[in-house]
Chains A and B, each alone.
Chain A
Amino acid sequence: MLEYARWKYILVAAVLLIALLFALPNVFGDDPALQVASKNHENLDAAAQKTLEQFLKERKIEYSRSYIDSGRVMIRLPDVGQQLQARDAVNEKFKDQYITAMSFAPRVPDILRKVGLRPMPLGLDLRGGLYLLYQVDVDSAVGQYLEGYGQDIRRALSAANLPYIDVQAVTVDSDRPNTVRVLLPPATDRGAVRAAAAKAVPDLTFETVSLPSGEAVQAVLTPQKIRERQDYAIQQNLTTLRNRVNEMGVAEPIVQRQGIDRISVQLPGVQNSAEVKDILGKVATLEFRLEYTQGNAFEAAARGRAPLGAKLYTYEGRPVLLKREIIVTGDQLTNATSAPTQDGPGVSLKLDARGGDAMLKNTRANVNRRMGVVYIEKRRETSEVNGQQVTRDITDQRVINLATIRGVFSNNFQITGLTAGESRDLALLLRAGSLATPIYSIDERVVGPSLGKDNIRKGVNALVIGMLAVFLFMAIYYRTFGLVADVVLLANVVLLTALLSMMRTALSLPGIAGIILTVGMAVDANVLIYERIREELRNGVSPQAAIRLGFEKAFSAIADSNITTLIAGVVLWVFGTGAIRGFAVVLTLGIATSMFTSLMGSRALLTLMYGGRRKIARLSI
C-alpha cells in the first residue's frame, strides 16, 4: 500500500504553481533600453512618452516599444547601436528637461509587469557597470560631534562668566578623540563649571579631574554614543549618496551600507568611473558673504593676513576681503537648478524660510554694496609616505561671484560665475545634499557590457549542458525513476529561480555557479532514496512497500547531509560580501528547495504513479 495525504499533494501543486508564475518573467530575456527621467523629479506621463516617441520617429531611430515605469519612460531598442543613437539624440534635444540612462529592459509582457512580476536582477558582472566601495571617515564624524559640544560649553561658560583656559577635544584611553575637556585656571569653582557644562550638554556625564597641567572638567563619550554618532554619519552619507546617484539618472542603482563604516555603490551600465567618482565623493557647498569695506584688500594680501572680522580671498586674480559673517550657507537651500542667464551659465537657487529672511534683511540693508559667493570644496587625498598610509584633507575655497546688489531679493535668485559643467555639478551637489563626513573610495571595479553578456552566455551554457547531462545520466541509470528525478530537478530549478526573483537579490556569475552546483547536489537526495528502494527490493520487499521504506529510511541521511552543507552556506552568507554572498544565497536556498522537491515532490509523483491498491510486479528502477 502506498499512499500520500491529500493536503500534501495540494501543497506541492500550489507551491509549484506559484513558483512557475514567479519564475516566468525570466524566460523572456531583455533588450537594450533608454531610460528617460525628468530633471525636476516629476513623474513623466503619457504625454512625455508620446513626445519622445514622436521625436525618435522624426530622427528615424527604430525602437521596439516604450512604456512608463515608476515615473520614468523606458524605451526598448533593438540593439546597442540604436541605444547609443537614441541616447545622444534625446540628450541633445531635451538636455534641460530629461536625464537619460542606458539600461536593459526585460521583454516581459505588460500584463506580467503590471502585477509586479519581474525577472531576477543581474549583478554587475553579468550586465556590466561600475562598483565602488567607499570608506566613510567616521572618526571625523566623532570629531565634529566633540567640536559641537565644545562650542556649546564655551558659550555656556561665557554666559555664566566662568573663566576657562580652553575647551578641547582630546583622547582618553582610546586611539581616537573621544573626550571633550575644559581646562581651568587655578582656583576655579570646578563644581560650578561642571554644573554649567552639564546644563549646556545634558546628554554627557561630566567629571572633574586633576591633570599635571592643572584642573579640568571633562566628559568621555561612551562607546555607545560613539557608535550612535558613527551610525548617524553613515546614514546621512547613505542618503546623500543615494540622492546623488539618483540625480545622475543611473538605472537601478544600489547604494548600501557594508560593515561598520563602508558604503558600496553599484551602478549598472556606467563605464566612466572618473566622472561618477568626482560627483559622488565631492563635498561642496556655498557661502554668501558681504564684502568687507573697512579695509584694503591689497594691503591685507601683502601682509598675508585679513583684518579682524574679514576673510581674504581672490576673485578674478585680485585679492578681495569678505566679511566673516555668513549670510546664508548651502544647507539652507531647498532647490538648485542650472540655468543659462544673460551673463553665461548660472545656477537658480531657492532658499528655505530662514535663509530667505536673512537674505532679504541683508540685501535690503546693503543695496549697491557687493556680495560674494564662496564655493567650498573639500576632498581627501591618500598617499603613501614611507610605507604608511597618509591622508590629508584639502579644502578649496574660491569666490565664484562678486556682484553688486542691485535690488532686494529673498529666497529666489540666481548666481553666475561658473562654467556650464561646474554649474551643472554644483546644482546637482546642492540639490542632493552634502556629505556629513568625507568619504574616499577604496575598491573600484568596472565591468564592460560585452564581458557581462559573455559571462551570462557562458554561465547559461554551462547550466543547460550540465543539466542535460545529468538528466540523461539519471534516465539511463534509474530508468523511469530517473525520469521522475529529472522532473523533480527541473521543478527545483524553477523553484529556485522563483525564490531568487521574489527576493530580488542580484544574480552574479558565482550565483549561476551556485545554481549549477545545486542541480548536482539536489540529485543526491533522489539517489539516496532510490538506492534505498533498490536495497529494499533486493531484500525481497514488495515494490510499493519498497518505495515507502525507501523514503522513510533515507530521510535521516538526507536531513543530516543537507544540514552540514547548509552550515557552510550560512557561514558564507554571514561572512561573504558581494558575489560570494550571491553564491551563498543560492547555495542555501538551493538546499531548501531541493529538500522540498526531492522529499515531497518526488514522493507525490511516485505515489501518483505507483500508489493505491494496484498490484505492481516490478519497478523500473
Chain B
Amino acid sequence: MEFFHRPTSFPFMATRKVWYTLSAILMIGSFISFATRGLNLAIDFTGGVTVEATLTKTADIDAIRSSIESAGFKEPQVQNFGSSRDIAIRLPPDSTQTAAVIRSKIDAAIKAIDPGATILRLEVVGPQVGKELQTSAAWALLFTLVFIGLYIMLRFHTWRLSLGAILAVMHDPILVLGIFSITQTPFDLAVVAAVLAVIGYSLNDTVVVFDRIRERFEHNRRLAPALVLDQSINQTLSRTIMTKVVTAIVVVALLFLGGPVLRGFSEALMIGILAGTYSSIYISSSVALDFGLTAEHVFPSIKKSAVDQTP
C-alpha cells in the first residue's frame, strides 16, 4: 500500500501566498483570542485548590456549589469531570486556611449532598509556586526555540533556513495556545510539556525537508531554488504524511482512552501535530525562498558534507 504511487508535483512555492494568508489569519485569530480571553490557567499556575470527588449518583452541580459556598468558600467552580458522577471543584487561592481544614470542610459540604461521596484527589498549590511555574514554563519555551534555531543554523549554514524553521515552529505553539484560549480548555503543566514536545516534533518534518533540499542542491547546483524546494517537499511528502498518521493514531488512543487527566495534554499534541505538518509543508521552505535562499547559502564552499555515514 502507498499513499502516493508516483512522486507528486504539487506547486507549493507558486501557491505560497495563499498559505501565508491562511497562516496569517490563524495567527491573528489566535493573538486576538489570547489578548481578549486569555488562557484558562489551571491551578498549577494560579495557585488554589482542586478537589476531585466521585459521587454515588449523578451529580447535582448547583446543589454542590451552594453547599460549598455556604461552607465559606468564595467563587467555587464545580464541573463534571469524566463522568456524570465525577466532579471537579476549583477554589481560588486562600492562604488563611490549611489544606487539612479545606479538605475536611469540602468533604463535609459534598457529603451533605451525597453521604456516599469520596474525595479522589486534593491539590493545594500556594500562589508563589504558581507564579514560579509560569516563569519557568516561559523560560523553557524560549530556551527550546533558541537552541533549536542555533542547531539549524549550525547544521544548514544559513540563517534563511533557520528563520524559516523558527517561524514554522513558532506557528505551531501559537496555534495550540490560540485554540486553547478560544475553547477555554484548562491549561496546565502537562499542556506546557505537550507544547514543548510539539515544538521539537513539528521541527522533525521541517528538518527532513531541509535535509532533502540540501541533497537536491548538492545533486544539481544550477536548478532554480523554487524548483528544488518544490521537489524536496514533494519527495518527502509521503514520509511526512505517513509519520504524522502513525503519531496521530497513538495520540487519538491517548485522547480517548487516557482519561481526563491527559485530555488537555493529548488535545495539545493533536493540534500541534496537525499544525506542525501544515507549517513544515507550507511555511518553512517558502519563508527561506522569500529571503533569497540559493544553493550558495547551503554550500558556501564546494566541499562534500561528511554527514552521510553508515550507522
Do A and B truly interact? yes
User: A-side interface residues toward B, CB under 8 Å?
Assistant: 125, 133, 273-274, 277, 382-384, 389, 441-448, 450-451, 454-455, 458-459, 461-463, 465-467, 469-470, 473-474, 476-477, 509-510, 513, 516-517, 519-521, 523-524, 527-528, 531, 534-535, 538, 551-553, 555-557, 559-569, 571-572, 574-576, 578-580, 583-584, 587, 599-600, 603
Of residues B125, B245, B261, which shows the largest number of chain A Cβ atoms within 10 Å of its Cβ? Answer: B261
| B42 contact set on A, CB distance < 8 A | none
Interchain CB contact under 8 A, B95 and A443? no
B291 at the interface (CB under 8 A from A): no
With A524-B243, A535-B235, A556-B211 already in contact, the answer to whether A575 and B143 are too (CB < 8 A) is yes
| B116 contact set on A, CB distance < 8 A | none
Rounded to whole angstroms, the CA-CA distance of A571 and B141 in the bound complex is 8
Rounded to whole angstroms, the CA-CA distance of A422 and B49 in the bound complex is 31
With A516-B254, A556-B307, A575-B140 already in contact, the answer to whether A569 and B239 are too (CB < 8 A) is no
Q: How far is the CB of B163 from chain A (nearest CB, A)?
A: 15
B36 at the interface (CB under 8 A from A): no
Interchain CB contact under 8 A, B203 and A565? yes
Interchain CB contact under 8 A, A273 and B261? no
Interchain CB contact under 8 A, A527 and B129? no
B128 at the interface (CB under 8 A from A): yes
Q: How far is the CB of A475 from chain B (nearest CB, A)?
A: 10
Q: How far is the CB of A577 from chain B (nearest CB, A)?
A: 8
Partner of B309, one of A454, A523, A555: A555
B100 at the interface (CB under 8 A from A): yes
Interchain CB contact under 8 A, A575 and B242? no
| B265 contact set on A, CB distance < 8 A | 510, 513
The stretch of B26-34, B56-64, B144-152 that contacts the partner chain: B144-152
In which size bucket is the chain B interface?
Answer: 35 or more
| A551 contact set on B, CB distance < 8 A | 310-311
Q: A445-B122, A469-B253, A538-B7 are in contact. List 4 more A-B contacts (CB 8 A).
A: A384-B96, A516-B250, A521-B204, A527-B242
Residues B251-274 near A (CB distance < 8 A): 251-254, 256-259, 261-262, 265-266, 269
With A446-B122, A552-B308 already in contact, the answer to whether A509 and B261 are too (CB < 8 A) is yes
Rounded to whole angstroms, the CA-CA distance of A443 and B119 in the bound complex is 18
Partner of B196, one of A443, A513, A572, A603: A572
> CB-defined interface of B189-218 with A at 8 Å, one 1/0 digit per residue?
110110011011101110110111001000
Partner of B253, one of A462, A538, A565, A580: A462
Partner of B311, one of A455, A458, A599: A599
Rounded to whole angstroms, the CA-CA distance of A523 and B245 in the bound complex is 10
Rounded to whole angstroms, the CA-CA distance of A325 and B208 in the bound complex is 78
Interchain CB contact under 8 A, A560 and B311? no
| B311 contact set on A, CB distance < 8 A | 551, 555, 599-600, 603
Rounded to whole angstroms, the CA-CA distance of A453 and B118 in the bound complex is 15
Interchain CB contact under 8 A, B208 and A567? no
Interchain CB contact under 8 A, B140 and A576? yes
Rounded to whole angstroms, the CA-CA distance of A397 and B261 in the bound complex is 46
B304 at the interface (CB under 8 A from A): no
Rounded to whole angstroms, the CA-CA distance of A575 and B148 in the bound complex is 16
B224 at the interface (CB under 8 A from A): no
Interchain CB contact under 8 A, A466 and B147? no
12 contacts between A and B (CB under 8 A): A448-B119, A450-B118, A462-B262, A477-B242, A519-B250, A534-B2, A559-B307, A561-B203, A565-B201, A580-B193, A583-B197, A599-B311
Of residues A273, A555, A568, A583, which shows the largest number of chain B Cβ atoms within 10 Å of its Cβ? Answer: A568
| A469 contact set on B, CB distance < 8 A | 249-250, 253
Interchain CB contact under 8 A, A564 and B200? yes
User: B-side interface residues toward A, CB under 8 Å?
Assistant: 1-2, 6-7, 52, 95-96, 98-100, 103, 118-126, 128-129, 136-137, 139-140, 143-144, 147-148, 151-152, 155, 189-190, 192-193, 196-197, 199-201, 203-205, 207-208, 210-212, 215, 235-236, 238-239, 242-243, 245-254, 256-259, 261-262, 265-266, 269, 307-311
Interchain CB contact under 8 A, A571 and B249? no
Interchain CB contact under 8 A, B143 and A458? no
Interchain CB contact under 8 A, B190 and A579? yes
- Which residue on chain A has the smallest CB distance to residue B273? A520
Interchain CB contact under 8 A, B123 and A466? no
| B96 contact set on A, CB distance < 8 A | 383-384
Interchain CB contact under 8 A, A466 and B124? no
- Which residue on chain A has the smallest CB distance to residue B52? A451
With A462-B258, A575-B136 already in contact, the answer to whether A441 and B119 are too (CB < 8 A) is no
Interchain CB contact under 8 A, B253 and A568? no
| B207 contact set on A, CB distance < 8 A | 557, 560-561, 564
Partner of A455, one of B201, B205, B259: B259
Rounded to whole angstroms, the CA-CA distance of A389 and B47 in the bound complex is 14
Interchain CB contact under 8 A, B123 and A445? yes
| A474 contact set on B, CB distance < 8 A | 246
Rounded to whole angstroms, the CA-CA distance of A350 and B238 in the bound complex is 77
Partner of A566, one of B119, B122, B200, B249: B200
Interchain CB contact under 8 A, B151 and A567? yes
With A521-B201, A579-B190, A600-B311 already in contact, the answer to whether A567 and B144 are too (CB < 8 A) is yes
Rounded to whole angstroms, the CA-CA distance of A21 and B128 in the bound complex is 44
Rounded to whole angstroms, the CA-CA distance of A535 and B231 in the bound complex is 13
Rounded to whole angstroms, the CA-CA distance of A447 and B242 in the bound complex is 39
With A383-B96, A389-B95 already in contact, the answer to whether A458 and B250 are too (CB < 8 A) is no
Rounded to whole angstroms, the CA-CA distance of A163 and B301 in the bound complex is 79
With A461-B257, A462-B254, A469-B250 already in contact, the answer to whether A444 and B123 are too (CB < 8 A) is yes
| B100 contact set on A, CB distance < 8 A | 273-274, 277
Interchain CB contact under 8 A, A466 and B121? no
With A564-B207, A600-B311 already in contact, the answer to whether A445 and B124 are too (CB < 8 A) is yes
- Which residue on chain B has the smallest CB distance to residue A578? B189
- Which residue on chain A has the smallest CB distance to residue B236? A531
Interchain CB contact under 8 A, B238 and A565? no
Rounded to whole angstroms, the CA-CA distance of A451 and B235 in the bound complex is 48
| A575 contact set on B, CB distance < 8 A | 136-137, 139-140, 143
| A516 contact set on B, CB distance < 8 A | 250-251, 253-254
With A568-B196, A571-B147 already in contact, the answer to whether A467 and B235 are too (CB < 8 A) is no
CB-CB nearest 7 A-B residue pairs: A568-B200, A466-B253, A274-B100, A442-B126, A520-B247, A565-B200, A466-B250
Rounded to whole angstroms, the CA-CA distance of A466 and B1 in the bound complex is 21
| A561 contact set on B, CB distance < 8 A | 203-205, 207-208
Rounded to whole angstroms, the CA-CA distance of A562 and B207 in the bound complex is 10
Interchain CB contact under 8 A, A567 and B200? yes
| A444 contact set on B, CB distance < 8 A | 99, 122-124
- Which residue on chain A has the smallest CB distance to residue B152? A564
Rounded to whole angstroms, the CA-CA distance of A510 and B118 in the bound complex is 25
With A442-B129, A444-B123, A469-B249 already in contact, the answer to whether A564 and B239 are too (CB < 8 A) is no
Q: How far is the CB of B272 from chain A (nearest CB, A)?
A: 11
Interchain CB contact under 8 A, A552 and B211? no
Interchain CB contact under 8 A, B196 and A571? yes
| B309 contact set on A, CB distance < 8 A | 552, 555
Q: How far is the CB of A582 from chain B (nearest CB, A)?
A: 9
Rounded to whole angstroms, the CA-CA distance of A445 and B52 in the bound complex is 11
- Which residue on chain B has the smallest CB distance to residue A384? B95
| A517 contact set on B, CB distance < 8 A | 197, 247, 250-251, 254, 269
Interchain CB contact under 8 A, B239 and A473? no
Rounded to whole angstroms, the CA-CA distance of A3 and B11 in the bound complex is 40
Rounded to whole angstroms, the CA-CA distance of A50 and B115 in the bound complex is 42
With A466-B253, A520-B250, A583-B193 already in contact, the answer to whether A567 and B124 are too (CB < 8 A) is no
Q: How far is the CB of B43 from chain A (nearest CB, A)?
A: 10
Interchain CB contact under 8 A, B212 and A557? yes
| B125 contact set on A, CB distance < 8 A | 442-443
Rounded to whole angstroms, the CA-CA distance of A446 and B250 in the bound complex is 29
Interchain CB contact under 8 A, B254 and A563? no
- Which residue on chain B has the smallest CB distance to residue A595? B311
- Which residue on chain A has the smallest CB distance to residue B241? A527
Rounded to whole angstroms, the CA-CA distance of A517 and B204 in the bound complex is 14
Rounded to whole angstroms, the CA-CA distance of A576 and B250 in the bound complex is 24
Interchain CB contact under 8 A, A521 and B247? yes
